[in-house]
Amino acid sequence: MSAVKQPQIVVVGSTMTDMVTYAQRIPERGQTLLADSFVVGFGGKGANQATMARRFGIKVAMVNTLGDDLFGDSTLKNFESQGINTEFIRRAPGPSGVAPIWVEPDGTNRILIVPGANNLMSEEQSQSAIEGLGEISVVVGQLEIPQNVTAAAFKAAQAKGIPTILNPAPYSPITPELLAVSDWVMPNESEFAAMHPEGLAPTSDAIIAELASRLKTRFAVTLGEAGAAFTTLDGTVVRVSAPKVTAIDTTGAGDALVGSFAVGLALGLTDEAAIKLGCLCATDSVTRLGTQASYPSPERVQELLQQL
């Protein structure tokens, strides 16, 4: 493979403090139940993807705004302890983002997000990061921050020939301005259906190829335990399977896939190998509890790279 010199991934996205409750079942409306356990951890789709990418030992920079609370303090320390560049993380008065999460025994989850300071990010902040961080391999964004902020970063990236990846989650209608500067769009099955004019899920290659052609972008659709499917430059759909494992917590698995796919592109892997790497890392993560805490270690990701 042809490696990029000093790969660097820039993530323009969200941070959250995850408050995770593990329970045998989720209460019905008006019902109170006892839960099994509770943990607090670091999350946010942007932060998760940056953390996953950093496990590979490459340069990662995070662009975000944190509140002036204890959650913001601890999030900043977490990034710094992992060696993630925080030069373009700003602080603002008010609360940081939080995400209450409920996880059932089969690993399925339900999540609410409260964006807090994530909504205070600016176009100037994201654009300055792209212009000031030197050589960049890939820029990644999501929908947990204002879309105009991500679009400004992507536009600056494309002007420099840097590929962009949009993870359209949590889903909301994507502005034409953001879609136009997204080289890759990486939805899960429900997000894909929300993007489709007729609400069709990605159940066939034809459906995926047709929507990619209509939106003039490349898709990498995550399909849970079935792996992922992506479109080639000529519009062909290629499917990549995922290893079979017993999942105990799927929280953050999609972010693990996005972050490691970005690494694959930054390292100069083929598109198919990059998707496979994403599937391997995501599948590995669901065998452990937590979000960032479940991601494969630096040693483990090197083992996964050897499986390509």
Active site (catalytic) residues: 255
HSE, CB side, 13 Å, CA atoms: give it for residue 252: 38
Burial group, residue 281, by CB count within 10 angstroms (0-12, 13-18, 19+): buried
Residue closest to 270 by CA, chosen among 230, 303, 210, 299:
230
Q: How far apart are the first and last CA of the chain?
A: 12
**Beta carbons within 10 angstroms of residue 141's beta carbon:** 31
Q: How many Å apart are CA 59 and CA 8, to the nearest integer?
A: 5
Q: Are 183 and 164 in contact (CB under 8 A)?
A: yes
Are 121 and 145 in contact, with CB atoms under 8 Å apart? yes
Q: Mention every residue, 6+ apart, whose C-beta is less than 8 A from residue 118.
A: 14, 15, 16, 44, 64, 65, 97, 144, 145
Distance separating alpha carbons of residues 267 and 59, to the nearest angstrom = 11
